[in-house]
Every structure is written in structure tokens, then in C-alpha cells.
């Protein structure tokens, strides 16, 4: 009896170990050729696939939303393959897990170039991982589309083969230039995570404040291993700022703790917070203001943008829900911009596609993707404030006196 | 003054959270001589199970706590029997068992991602609508419960380990397994029970912290390092020391962050730990067990 119990326990542990290994970050790629186009006879297409390499943090501390980025890419590939692929070639995607490690991202980029010999690449959305790896792709002349938002991502390196279909956070400062004047903002406090994208947007805000003569009365940083932010937030609250800029990777908990300390003013976010941040913050998310290319929807009927609505219908059909975070849009846009370039090039040659990318002007989920002026696909965006459970257009809300309820220092 | 009070309250809550995790480290060490670096990830599991039973399934909180503790006790028991015991039987050195604990931690973290997902989730309040004002700041009722439960568990464990037959058997099994067996102690069973008990304590930490910090796959990992430092500072293996060490880490971190800079809070906390160990290697409570490793 005792032996049997031991055997069962051992088997259970072995099962746990095996399951764990399945879930662990792996350097083995996963490939997908969702709905490859068929020939006229209906047999499999004999043409060589167009291979896109992708990598992202599927496991580890930054893995929260990678699955939704994957979904965006997969939906785009499915749509492309159903419409003839890249100049008749079916699209295949090879994915790797960076395990939230910059070093792993750098190694994966080498593997994509040397072993997988990919035709194009969609790197990690994490700016740190892009910086660690994109040089390899650029040197190998691989057309690469990034979706990280860090301001310094493209400006720090002159990469000819790297393009972006996400919003550079530097551009978003223009949203606040006139708004700060209209709100009469004299003092600001900033709390930021130490990830590259958050540091970059903090610097941009500091520059804006310096330019406008706005005093930064408190500046606090937190790291990804923090769970309790009371001390830095207490410094912020005691400095009595007119408003707070919260540039944290996951702003839900920061907001809850900030509100608990008695701050009930406007909180500026660097981008649209994720659905779970709204869930965690609950009522405390009132007064979140953010620049964004997109908003998320809880009901498909709330969307009146035809191109977006069509995407949401496809997403809902495939996954039975609406996307909770904007990374899905970024994933979709990156693949579609690449497809547009292949159509302009008329060939799948890497140099031809990269050249064609500079001519891309196409519909994206965040508006028009336009690479004709620079490697930045999006330069215009909207600003929103979240109040009463709804996203409101920021300037309209401001003009209607919405800010009065959030004023801190009269 | 308000800032000081705010920081004091916050440091107490954070310190007790660290203390609860430190208790589980100390309990395992005291009862089986192991460094259980898998504990932070077991805490994550406790939080996710509590979230599943309470928030998702809508069970009453006490039932959710009970179910979580039962499941986690079995999990701890199974880890000891299936992994630790098997390694000991194969004469694997303690160092390699410690490394195995790290591996188990990664496995559990990835498993939690696989099963519960990678998105942080809101753990519903235990007492919805109740807002407590302490010295002008709003404190979650769960935070006060966390402080109370930490102190209660500390007292119970201290009593259990030193004043009960089972606790004495656990300490005996850790100090000299062969001698313990010769006087009729079932070392294998006792070790399994001590792991189960430790895992139950860490599960309690998870289910109490969930409503305060929300639940994510890195919840335990984020708190675990400081909690381990707290256990060492207090005297590794000592129950009272675990809480005192946890509180010390919470206070250093919070007050450095509040009055010096949040950039240096971890730096200064760990420097204080090292300097303190230079002066008093056995920790605040003069626990000699750490010297045996």
C-alpha cells in the first residue's frame, strides 16, 4: 500500500515536472502557416513559404501580454494567406520566447538570421529587447518592423531596415503642450518604472516641463520587482502636485495605492492601460488621461471605425472575446504593413521589400500607416480621458470643463 | 508627521507580508534543514488558488482559505515526498537539493502561467465597501488582517515547534534523522508534514496579499527575495526572528524610499543586511541553525 502511494506520488511529481517543462520558456521555435493559400487544383501550394521570424517574452516577468500580440500577428497572417500570401507565397511565422531576457533576444536574432534564414522579422515589443537584438537584423538586411514605443528606439541607431508601426512616446508630448496651459498646470509629479520605454517618456515629460516652466515637485522611480509603492507615492502626495504622470508598466496597482493616499487629481498615463489595469484600479481609474492610437472595446457596437470593426469581428470569431489590450492591434498592423510593402515591391526579395516599405501608405488599426516621411509609421494619435466608465476625447472633455473636478491647487 | 505615519503603517504591512513568507522559509529550515527557495512561487499558487475559489467561483472567503490551505498542504507534502525525499535517498548533497528548489520554483511559475495566465488579476476585497481610516490615510481591511494573521501564525508556530510533541519531532528529524528514527519518529512522514505546514503558511500569505497587491505570476517572486533576507536578518530558522526580520526589511525599504530615494531602497536594505551579519552572523534572534549549513 505504502509503495503504491509512493508510486502515485512519484508519478504525480513527474507529471508536474513534464507539464512545467512544457510551460517553460523554450528556445525551440513554433511555426504557423495559418490557412496557407491553395493552388487551383486544391492541392498544397508548392511555392516556398515567406518566412517571418518573431520573438517576444512568452515567459518571464514581461510576458503578460505576448499572447495577445501573437493573436494579432496570427490573424493578419491568416488574412494574408487567404488572399494570396506574399506574392503568391504562403506566409509562415517562426516564434521564439525571449524569456523576458535581453541576452536571449540577442541570441534569437542571430539564430533567425543564421539558422532560420528568415525573410522578415517582427521583434519583441519590449524596447530593451529590441535594442539588444535589432542591430543583428539590420546588419543582415532583414526588413524588420518593431512595435515598441520607446522614444529612443529608432533615434539612437540609424537602422535602414528597421521600421515602426507603433506610436513613438516622444510624439505624444504634443498632446499635453496646450492642455497644460489650458488647465493652468504649474507643478507636476512623476513616478516611473525603470524599463526603457518608461524612462524615455519620463525624459520627454521632463523636457516638456522645462520648456513650459512647469516645476517637477516630485520624481520617483519603481522597479518591476516592487509590489508596494506607498513610500514613493507618499512623497508625491506630500509634494501637492497639480497632476501626476504615472509612467509605470502596470499602472493599476500604482493608481490604487495613490488614490488610497488621498490623491484624487488627474493621472497621465503613457498609453492606453490594459483591461486588467482598469479591472485592478476599478473606480480609481477615473481621471486617467492618455494619448493613444486606439481604445479597447467591451462591446463591438461601440466601435464605429469600419476597418477596426472588421478586425474586431474577426478577432471575436477566432477567440470568442474582444481584445483586452492594444498589443493585438500592433501585432496586426506590423504584418499588414509588411504585406503592403510586398505588394508594392512585386517580389519577396528582402532589398525590394525594404525599399518598398519607404513607399507604404496604408490603412492601419490606429489610422494611416505612412512610411514615406520616416521609419515611424504613425505620427498622429488621439488623447483620451477615462471617466464614468467611458473613454472621452480629451480636448472636448477639457473644453467642457471636465478638469474642474480634478483640480488640486486652486 | 502625516508622511511619517503613512510610511510607518505601510512599512508594518509590508514587513508583516515579508514576515509571513520568512516564516515559511524558517519553518522548513527548522524542521528539515532545507533552504526552500521554491516558497515564493508556492505563495503565487496560494494567491491564484484563493483567487480562483473566492473571486472566480464565488465561494465564501473562509471556505476559499480552507480549500486553498488543503490543496497547498497536499502540494507541499507531494513536493517533499516526490522530489526532496527521493533526492535525499539518492544521497544528493544539500547544495544540489537547494538548486532543485530553484528549478521547482521556475517550474511552478511557468505552470501558474500555463494554468492561470500571465495577466495580473484583481482579487476581490474580503470585506467589500469597508474603508478604514488610520491616522488620516485609508488602509485596506485586508492589510490589517494580514498584520494580525502574521503575528498569530508566528505565535502559533513558535508554540508548536517548541511546546508540542509533533514540533519536537520535526526539530529532531531535522537535527539528526537517524537518532530520531531510532526513538520511533517517522522521519519521512514528519518531513512531509513539515513541508505541508510550511506550504500552508505560504498559501495563507498569498491569499492575504492577493487583495492588497492583486495577483500575478510574479507576486511571490517579487516579495520572496526580501522575505528571505528578512528570515536571515531575524535569525534563519527562528519564528519570532522571521517576523522581526521581515518587519526590519519592510521598515528599511519603506523609510529609505520615503526619506532618501526610492532608487536606493534595495541597495541600502541589502547593505544593512550584510553589515548586520558581519556584526551578528546568527541574526537578531541569535539563531545558530544557519551555521550548520
B265 contacts on A by Cβ (under 8 Å): 231
Question: Any bridge partners for residue A167, and if so which?
Answer: A378
Homologous superfamily (CATH) of A28-170+308-381 is Response regulator (3.40.50.2300)
Q: Which three cell numbers stand for residue B259?
A: 526619506
DSSP A405: G
Q: Which residue has the higher pLDDT, B183 or A161?
A: A161
What is the domain partition of chain A in residue ranges?
28-170+308-381, 171-292+383-406
Does pLDDT of B97 surpass 80? yes
For residue B114, the chain A residues in CB contact (below 8 A) are 19, 22-23
pLDDT confidence band for B172 (50 / 70 / 90): confident
Verify whether the Cβ–Cβ distance A65 to B118 is below 8 Å: yes
Query: Looking at beta carbons, which residues of chain B come within 8 Å of A321?
Result: none
pLDDT in tens, B111-129: 998 898 888 888 988 888 7
Contact between A247 and A219 under an 8 Å Cβ cutoff? The reply is: no
Q: Do A20 and B111 touch (CB under 8 A)?
A: yes
Would an 8 Å CB–CB cutoff place B3 in contact with chain A?
yes
CATH annotation of B14-117+138-292: 1.10.3470
Q: Which residue of chain A is at minimal alpha-carbon distance from B1?
A: A238
Superfamily (CATH) of domain A171-292+383-406: Response regulator (3.40.50.2300)
Q: Give the orientation angle of helix B94-116 with respect to helix B39-51, to 10 degrees.
A: 20
pLDDT of residue A4: 52
Are B2 and A260 inside 8 Å of each other by CB?
Answer: no
- Walk along chain A (410 residues) and give the pLDDT tens digit of each residue: 444 545 544 544 444 444 444 333 344 566 554 444 444 344 445 689 999 999 999 988 788 888 999 999 999 999 999 999 999 999 999 999 999 899 999 999 999 999 999 999 999 999 889 989 999 999 999 999 999 888 777 777 789 999 999 988 888 888 898 899 999 999 999 999 988 888 989 999 999 999 999 999 999 998 877 888 888 999 999 899 999 999 998 899 999 999 988 899 999 999 889 888 998 999 999 999 999 998 888 888 888 888 889 999 999 999 999 998 889 999 999 999 999 999 999 999 999 999 999 999 999 998 899 999 999 999 888 899 999 888 889 999 999 999 999 988 76
Which has the closest alpha carbon to B36: B196, B147, B153, B150? B196
Q: Please, are residues A100 and A57 in contact by the beta-carbon 8 Å criterion?
A: yes
Using a CB–CB cutoff of 8 Å, tell me whether A6 touches chain B: yes
Residue B17 grid cell: 507580508
* Beta strand spans in A257-395 (E): 267-269, 288-292, 361-364, 367-370, 376-378, 382-387, 390-393
Assigned C-alpha cell, A103: 541576452
Residues A23, B121: C-beta atoms closer than 8 Å:
no
Q: Which three cell numbers stand for residue A296?
A: 479597447
Task: Please report the residues numbered 200 through 219 in chain B whose beta carbons come closer than 8 angstroms to any beta carbon of chain A.
Answer: 209, 213-214, 216-219
Cβ <8 Å between A67 and B118 = yes
Residue A192, phi then psi, degrees to nearest 5 = -135, 150
Instruction: Determine phi and psi for A213, rounding to 5 degrees.
Output: 70, 25
CB A321 within 8 A of CB A71: no
- A153: cell is 528606439
Burial class (CB in 10 A: 0-12, 13-18, 19+), B189: middle
Read off the pLDDT band of B288 (50, 70, 90): low
Residue B56 above 90 pLDDT? yes
**CA-based nearest residue to B246, from B18, B48, B71:** B18
Give how far A232 is from chain B: nearest CA, Å. Answer: 6
Nearest-CA distance A170 → chain B (Å): 24
Q: What is the pLDDT of residue A21?
A: 40
Answer whether A188's CB lies under 8 Å from A205's CB.
yes
Higher-confidence residue of A45 and B214: namely: B214
Asked if domains A28-170+308-381 and A171-292+383-406 share a fold, the reply is yes
Q: What pLDDT score does A17 carry?
A: 44
The DSSP output letter for A274 is P
DSSP string, A164-230: EEEE-GGGGGHHHHHHHHHHT--EEEEEEESSHHHHHHHHHHHHHHHHHT-EEEEEEEE-TT----H
Domain regions of chain B by residue span: 14-117+138-292
Task: Decide which of B67 and A39 is more confident.
Answer: B67
- Return the H-helix or E-strand segment holding A144: strand A144-146
Q: How far apart are CA A297 and CA A276, in angstroms?
A: 13
Chain-centre distance for alpha carbon B204: 9
Amino acid at each position: 500500500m505504502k509503495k503504491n502511494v509512493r508510486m502515485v506520488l512519484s508519478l504525480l511529481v513527474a507529471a508536474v515536472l513534464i507539464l512545467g517543462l512544457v510551460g517553460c520558456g523554450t528556445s525551440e521555435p513554433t511555426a504557423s502557416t495559418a490557412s496557407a493559400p491553395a493552388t487551383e487544383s486544391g492541392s498544397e501550394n508548392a511555392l516556398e513559404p515567406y518566412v517571418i521570424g518573431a520573438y517576444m517574452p512568452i515567459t518571464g516577468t514581461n510576458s503578460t501580454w505576448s499572447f495577445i500580440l501573437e493573436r494579432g500577428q496570427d490573424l493578419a497572417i491568416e488574412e494574408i494567406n487567404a488572399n494570396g500570401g506574399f506574392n503568391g507565397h504562403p506566409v509562415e511565422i517562426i516564434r521564439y520566447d525571449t524569456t523576458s531576457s535581453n541576452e536571449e533576444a540577442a541570441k534569437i536574432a542571430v539564430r533567425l538570421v543564421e539558422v532560420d534564414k528568415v525573410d522578415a522579422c517582427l521583434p519583441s515589443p519590449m524596447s530593451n529587447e529590441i535594442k539588444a537584438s535589432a542591430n543583428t537584423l539590420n546588419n543582415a538586411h532583414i526588413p524588420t518592423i518593431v512595435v515598441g514605443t520607446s522614444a529612443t528606439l529608432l533615434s539612437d541607431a540609424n537602422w535602414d531596415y528597421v521600421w515602426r508601426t507603433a506610436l513613438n512616446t516622444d510624439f505624444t508630448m504634443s498632446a499635453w503642450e496646450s492642455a497644460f496651459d489650458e488647465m493652468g498646470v504649474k507643478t507636476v509629479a512623476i513616478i516611473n518604472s525603470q524599463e526603457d520605454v518608461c524612462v524615455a517618456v519620463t525624459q520627454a515629460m521632463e523636457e516638456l516641463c522645462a520648456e513650459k516652466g512647469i516645476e517637477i515637485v516630485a520624481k520617483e522611480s519603481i522597479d518591476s520587482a516592487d509590489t508596494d509603492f506607498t513610500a514613493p507615492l507618499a512623497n508625491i502626495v506630500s509634494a501637492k502636485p497639480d497632476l501626476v504622470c504615472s509612467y509605470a508598466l502596470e499602472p493599476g496597482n500604482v493608481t490604487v495605492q495613490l488614490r488610497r493616499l488621498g490623491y484624487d487629481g488627474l493621472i497621465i498615463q503613457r498609453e492606453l492601460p490594459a483591461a486588467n489595469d482598469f479591472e485592478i484600479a476599478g473606480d480609481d481609474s477615473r481621471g486617467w488621461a492618455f494619448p493613444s492610437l486606439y481604445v479597447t472595446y467591451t462591446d463591438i457596437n461601440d466601435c464605429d471605425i469600419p476597418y477596426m470593426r472588421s478586425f474586431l469581428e474577426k478577432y471575436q470569431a477566432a477567440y470568442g472575446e474582444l481584445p483586452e489590450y492594444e498589443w493585438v492591434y500592433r501585432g496586426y498592423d506590423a504584418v499588414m504593413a509588411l504585406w503592403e510593402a510586398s505588394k508594392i515591391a512585386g517580389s519577396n526579395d528582402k532589398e525590394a521589400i525594404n525599399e518598398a516599405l519607404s513607399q507604404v501608405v496604408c490603412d492601419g488599426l490606429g489610422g494611416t500607416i505612412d512610411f514615406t516621411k520616416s521609419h515611424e509609421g504613425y505620427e498622429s494619435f488621439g488623447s483620451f480621458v477615462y471617466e464614468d466608465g467611458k473613454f472621452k476625447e480629451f480636448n472636448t472633455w477639457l473644453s467642457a470643463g471636465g478638469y474642474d473636478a480634478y483640480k488640486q491647487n486652486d | 508627521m502625516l508622511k511619517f505615519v503613512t510610511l510607518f503603517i505601510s512599512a508594518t504591512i509590508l514587513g508583516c507580508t515579508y514576515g509571513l513568507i520568512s516564516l515559511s522559509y524558517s519553518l522548513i529550515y527548522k524542521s528539515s534543514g532545507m533552504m526552500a527557495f521554491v516558497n515564493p512561487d508556492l505563495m503565487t499558487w496560494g494567491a491564484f488558488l484563493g483567487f480562483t475559489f473566492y473571486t472566480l467561483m464565488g465561494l465564501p472567503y473562509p471556505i476559499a482559505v480552507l480549500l486553498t490551505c488543503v490543496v497547498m498542504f497536499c502540494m507541499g507534502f507531494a513536493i517533499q515526498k516526490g522530489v526532496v525525499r527521493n533526492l535525499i535517498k539518492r544521497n544528493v548533497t544539500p547544495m544540489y537539493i537547494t538548486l532543485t528548489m530553484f528549478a521547482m520554483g521556475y517550474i511552478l511559475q511557468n505552470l501558474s502561467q500555463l494554468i492561470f495566465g500571465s495577466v495580473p488579476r484583481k482579487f476581490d476585497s474580503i470585506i467589500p465597501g469597508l474603508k478604514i481610516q488610520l491616522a488620516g490615510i485609508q488602509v485596506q481591511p485586508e492589510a490589517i488582517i494580514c498584520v494580525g494573521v502574521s503575528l498569530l501564525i508566528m505565535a502559533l508556530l513558535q508554540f508548536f515547534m517548541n511546546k508540542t510533541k509533533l514540533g519536537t519531532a520535526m526539530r529532531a528529524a531535522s537535527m539528526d534523522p537517524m537518532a530520531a528514527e531510532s526513538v520511533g519518529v517517522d522521519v519521512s512522514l514528519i518531513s512531509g508534514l513539515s513541508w505541508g505546514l510550511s506550504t500552508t503558511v505560504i498559501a495563507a500569505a498569498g491569499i492575504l496579499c492577493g487583495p492588497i497587491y492583486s495577483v500575478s505570476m510574479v507576486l511571490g517572486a517579487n516579495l520572496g527575495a526580501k522575505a528571505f533576507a528578512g528570515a536571515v536578518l531575524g535569525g534563519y530558522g527562528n519564528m519570532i526572528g522571521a517576523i522581526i526580520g521581515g518587519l526590519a526589511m519592510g521598515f528599511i525599504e519603506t523609510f529609505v524610499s520615503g526619506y532618501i530615494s526610492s532608487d536606493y531602497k534595495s541597495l541600502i536594505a541589502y547593505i544593512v543586511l550584510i553589515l548586520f551579519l558581519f556584526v551578528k552572523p546568527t541574526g537578531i534572534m541569535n539563531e545558530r541553525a544557519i551555521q550548520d549549513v
